[in-house]
Amino acid sequence: MNRRNKLFLVMAALLATAIVQGQSRNSGVTPADYARWKTEFRNWGRWGAEDERGTSNLITPAKIVSVARLVKTGEVVSLAHAVPQKVVADVPEGAVFHRKTLSVGPNSALDNYQVSYHGLSTAHMDAFCHQFADGQMYNGFSIAENVTEEGGCKKGSVMAWRDGIVTRAVLYDMPQLKGVEWIEPGTPITRADLEAWEKKAGVKAGPGDVVLLYIGRWKRRAKEGPWAGQVSGYFADTLPWVKEREPAFLGHDFNIDWNPRPGWGAAEGIVGNPIHQMIMKSMGVNIVENLDLERAVETARRLRRYEFMVTFAPLPVEGGTGSPVNPLAIF
């Protein structure tokens, strides 16, 4: 790389950091607000002392019946990308989905799957025992008493969703809102962005819904190549919006947390992913991420309809901290 290109990359990185810092200041949200929200936004005990589902409790039988009315054309679209089978920038060795054919006989073939699905690569849902702080997970369950390497999670495991999710999905199409092909990595998605899209599209998320935030991750990846470390994700000022709307899941085509996060790190008392931590531990809102929303976006734009039925279910792994999923959008 020549000196001119190096200088250009340095200047681009500095500009991106300045933009992020400016958006952080302009939103008026600070780490002090975040610290206060940890208590203010808690849903602990709301559905009982033993609850492990959080806002998924808002997906009632009546809601499911109403969601079925959203099916108009019968088009079914997968929201999962093909699982990664080689190491690239956003797929470290541990995230490679190892598929091995064990035998090919005269009438059948057998194979074995092995994957560490958390991270930036595989479409998956989390369980509440995946994210915790100060020795507790959602609903105040003790980590020391409930999570071990040998037994996994006694409380807060993926088994709480073994019967699956059938609910309303609301698609937030950020590239269409901003008139671009994709949102550049590192760009925070703010509450103002979400509300601007709601006004433009005429839809908004509500209790028990799945929010699907589309930034064009896979479209950019196909044209520019894979990357890691910079994510256009939910900014901290969206947290009051999440509390008010009470979705069952926040979805995204990458990691849900914006990154980089200058001014939102260990020096400010924030460890880990702040959006993950707040919604999963305090609010009881779950996460489904690394979704491939490209075909769903194409369909929604063609139909001019940004709400539809969505369904997915985890593998019923006792003690599991989450599961790979293949969500289906049904229009």
Residue with tokens 């979400």: 194
pLDDT recorded at residue 15: 42
Using one digit for the tens of pLDDT, what is the confidence trace for 204-228?
999 999 999 999 999 999 999 999 9
pLDDT recorded at residue 277: 96
DSSP string, 111-180: EEEE---TTTTS-EEE-GGGS-BTTB-GGG-BHHHHEETTTEESSS-GGGGTT-EEEEEEEEEHHHHHTS
8's tokens: 């250009």
CB atoms within 10 A of CB 296: 27
Class of domain 29-81+123-330: alpha beta
pLDDT recorded at residue 18: 43
pLDDT recorded at residue 117: 96
**CA neighbor of 21 nearest in space, from 200, 138, 188, 149:** 188
pLDDT recorded at residue 16: 42
**Domain layout of the chain by residue ranges:** 29-81+123-330, 88-120
pLDDT recorded at residue 271: 87
Residue segments in the chain with a per-residue pLDDT below the cut of 50: 1-25
pLDDT recorded at residue 251: 98
- Give the global pTM: 0.91
CB atoms within 10 A of CB 230: 17
pLDDT recorded at residue 253: 98
